[in-house]
Amino acid sequence: MIRTSDTKAVAGELHTRYDPDRAVMLIWRLLQRNLFAARPDEVLFWALVYAHYHGGNLRDATEEQLWAFSRFIVRDRSDRN
């Protein structure tokens, strides 16, 4: 299960600890490593971290695509409104 609160927390830590170029590179490397290791849950996790790192408000089209993974994503209470 992927908790959106966890992805937001990791994105916040990346904002705090690293400059933007370094943070995006770390996310990219982790995404790539998990993609080639065939770990779709980790790929989705880091993709959500990336989205939250860049503002957190996902576009409607992205939300529709995430609906297919809804059984794997535990939403925050604030996301359920």
Domains of the chain, by residue range, sit at 2-80
C-alpha closest to that of 66 among 39, 38, 47: 47
- Residue indicated by tokens 């297919």: 68
| pLDDT in the model for residue 27 | 92
Give the global pTM: 0.70
For 4, the token pair is 């959106």
Burial 27-56 (b: 16+ CB within 10 A, else e): beebbeebeeeeeeebbbbbbbbbbbbeee
pLDDT tens, N- to C-terminus, the chain (81 residues): 778 788 889 999 998 999 989 999 999 999 999 999 998 888 888 888 888 887 766 566 666 666 666 766 776 666 654
Q: What's the confidence (pLDDT) of residue 64?
A: 67
CA angle 1, 41, 35 (to 5 degrees): 165
